Structure 1
Amino acid sequence: MNRPEDEALAHAAVDALVGQLALAPKPGLPDPRDLTARATRRDHLALRWSARTLLPGLTAMAAAARRTGEPSARLRAELGAIGRSTDHTVGLAGGGHRGALWTLGLLVASAALQPGADPAKLTTLAQHIAAHPDRRAPRRPSRGSTVSARYGAAGARGEAKAGFPHVRRALNTLTAARAQGAAEPQARLDALLTVMSTLQDTELLYTAGPMGLREVQARARGALEAGGTATEQGASALRALDTYLVSRAWSPRGSAPLLAGTLFLDALGARGTVRPAPTHPHPELTP
């Protein structure tokens, strides 16, 4: 039986995902500026609606971690089985959140394993979980695995096995930008640019190739070096990056789930715990 704390973690994770979707302007990524998501051709409101279908799966992942009590191979197998079932359900609701499910699932499980842990400890726990192979996972190659093999990119699995270094860096940027007086959307955009500046995004490698990826990384770094999106020069660089990506139909889709993971850890804060979930956490999505 699920406990309130399991549901609270799941709601916090979905809130983080919805917060990522609501952020604008995100260069090359779905946001509220468009009726349709430019890169994926999915309706933006549908993406926000389908995010809610992650709730049961994420709750089950938290419960599995609490029952297991350690980042073991058994827990990895349970998370894999729950994840595949949840991915199928999300697909029926419109899909679009496989990367977020992977990232948030591992972090939710880590938070359930050790309530009150700081972000560094939680990402380390996620690293230990991801280190175990999921022996029942389908063996068919995916776009991400194919690109990872071709170019030597870490991909989503490699990011988790390394302890989510981009999430940790983005969280540092988020904290620093707030301390320097940036508004919350600007701090979050700076966190996203931090991820984009160094991530070997397999989606960009597939569509843009290595040279295109390096150009996107350089432009993201340029926006940060200009002072971040709280400055006029940094905001202009962000808009230019967005125009550059949209004109080529390129999307840094690997960065979005990592920003959602960053916002989730930020919501947990130093306590590593969250309040019990509200009855209607997303009233704008309630039918």
Structure 2
Amino acid sequence: MGSPEDEALARAAVAALTWQLELAPKPGLPDPRDLRARVTRQDHRALRWSAEALVPGLTAMAAAARRTGAPSPGLRAELGAVGRSTEHSVDLAGGGHRGALWVLGFLVAAAALEPGVRGAGLAATAKRIAAHPDRRAPRRPSRGSSVSAKYGAAGARGEARAGFPHVRRALEALARARAAGAPEPNARLDALLTVMSTLQDTELLYTAGPHGLRHVQAGARAVLDAGGTASDSGRDALTALDADLHARAWSPRGSGSLLAGALFADALPVVGHLPVPVTRHLPAT
């Protein structure tokens, strides 16, 4: 059973995931417009509900790290077992969040393993945990692993083993946008687009292939090159990209999960004093 500190980390991670869900407009990703799954075919309310099912598993991951005290093969195996059990619990609660579970799970474990570590240091600790193979993992290939093998994409496992480079890029984008005076929702959208612009998203590769992935990456770069979502031209580019991805039914889910990881890492200095998540979307155009 986890301590209050372990549960606080888990709830901070779910709060970060909720912030990601509440942000809008997110091109191709569920947001508050999807109250009845009209846009992305994922009901936003159901996703918020099922996110709460992550709390026990993330608490157990934090407890395992605190108890083990080292980024050992044993800890990696325990995180894998807890994660697979949590996947089942989330499915019973409505599904979704599989990628976010593993991103947040490694980062929560890293935060419990080395209290006080922040930002890139947190990602580096997660890398040390993920470096060990999960020897108890099922041998059957998953959709993500099959796509990774076919196209050479890093996938979720590769991101963790590399120390979450896209979480680090999202944190840098957040800092740049805030320093430039961008409102917080715009800073978070710019961080999402920064991830989308370079991530080899296995979900996009599965549904759209390499051409579709390059199309989405170029669209995200176009928004940033236009000045980001806080500028008029960037906002127009974002609106166009949003409409395009929804029309094609392409969803950069990996980018959404990594943004949630970045928001968790960003909020860590105030764990225990996190504000209640609220709807953080831009005015409709």
What pairs with 1:144-163 in structure 2 (closer than 5 Å)?
Answer: 144-163=144-163
**Counterpart in 1 of 2:26?**
26
4+ residue segments displaced more than 2 Å: 36-42, 281-284
Alpha-carbon RMSD across the aligned residues, in angstroms, is 1.7
2:206 equivalent to 1:206: yes
Query: Which residues in structure 2 correspond to 1:145-224 (within 5 Å)?
Result: 145-224=145-224
Residue identity opposite 1:156 in structure 2:
A
Q: What TM-score does the superposition give when structure 1 sets the normalisation length?
A: 0.93
- Kindly state the Cα deviation for residue 41 of structure 1 after the two structures are TM-superposed: 2.2
> How many correspondences in the alignment?
279
* Aligned counterpart, 2:283: none
Note if 1:141 corresponds to 2:138.
Answer: no
Does residue 55 in structure 1 map to residue 55 in structure 2? yes
Q: Mapping of 1:187-266 within 5 angstroms?
A: 187-266=187-266
For residues 274 and 18 of structure 1, the distance between their equivalents in structure 2, rounded to whole angstroms, comes to: 15
Per the TM alignment, residue 277 of structure 1 is displaced from its structure 2 partner at its CA by: 8.2
CA distance in 2, matches of 1:75, 1:67: 9
For residues 113-124 of structure 1, the aligned pairs below 5 Å read 113-124=113-124
Structure 2 CA distance, aligned partners of 1:211 and 1:11?
A: 38
Provide the identity percentage.
74
3-state SS, counterpart of residue 96 of structure 2: coil
Alignment CA distance shift 1:138-1:38 (3 Å): farther
Shift of 1:90: 0.4
Match of 1:275 in 2: 272
Distance 2:28 2:106 in 1: 26
Contact 1:4 1:277 in 2 (8 A): no
Mean Cα deviation higher: 163-172 or 28-37: 28-37
- Distance of 1:256 and 1:172 partners within structure 2: 16
The verdict on how the C-alpha distance between 1:198 and 1:220 changes in structure 2, with shifts beyond 3 A counting, is same
Which range moves more in the overlay, 65-74 or 2-11?
2-11
Deviations 1:23-64 (A, max 9, x none): 000000000012234575231101001000100111111010
Q: Separation in 1 of the partners of 2:40 and 2:74?
A: 35
The one-letter code of the counterpart of 2:80 is: G
| Structure 2 Cα separation of the partners of residues 183 and 80 of structure 1 | 38
- Quickly say closer, same or farther: Cα 1:283–1:199, change in 2 above 3 A: closer
Equivalent position of 2:282 in the other structure:
none
Question: Shift in Å at residue 176 of structure 1?
Answer: 1.1
In the alignment, the residues of structure 1 paired with residue 244 and residue 258 of structure 2 have an alpha-carbon distance, to the nearest angstrom, of 22
Aligned to 2:132: 132
* TM-score computed with the length of structure 2 as normaliser: 0.94
Going from structure 1 to structure 2, the CA distance change for 1:149 and 1:38 (only over 3 Å counts) comes to: farther
Instruction: Write the letter of the residue equivalent to 1:174.
Output: L
Distance, in Å, in 2 between the alignment partners of 1:282 and 1:259 is 15
> Counterpart of 2:112?
112
Question: 2-side partners of 1:38 and 1:259: how far apart?
Answer: 23
Question: What is the identity, as a one-letter code, of the residue corresponding to 1:91?
Answer: D
SS in 2 for 1:138: coil
Q: For 1:208 and 1:277, locate their aligned partners in 2 and report how far apart those are by CA, in whole Å.
A: 37
Contact 1:57 1:83 in 2 (8 A): yes
Q: Distance in 1 between matches of 2:278 and 2:35?
A: 20
Deviation of the 1:242 alpha carbon: 0.8
Cα 1:61–1:252, aligned 2, differ >3 Å: closer, same or farther?
same
Q: Measure the CA separation in 1 of the matches of 2:156 and 2:38.
A: 22
Unaligned 5+ segments in structure 2 are 280-285
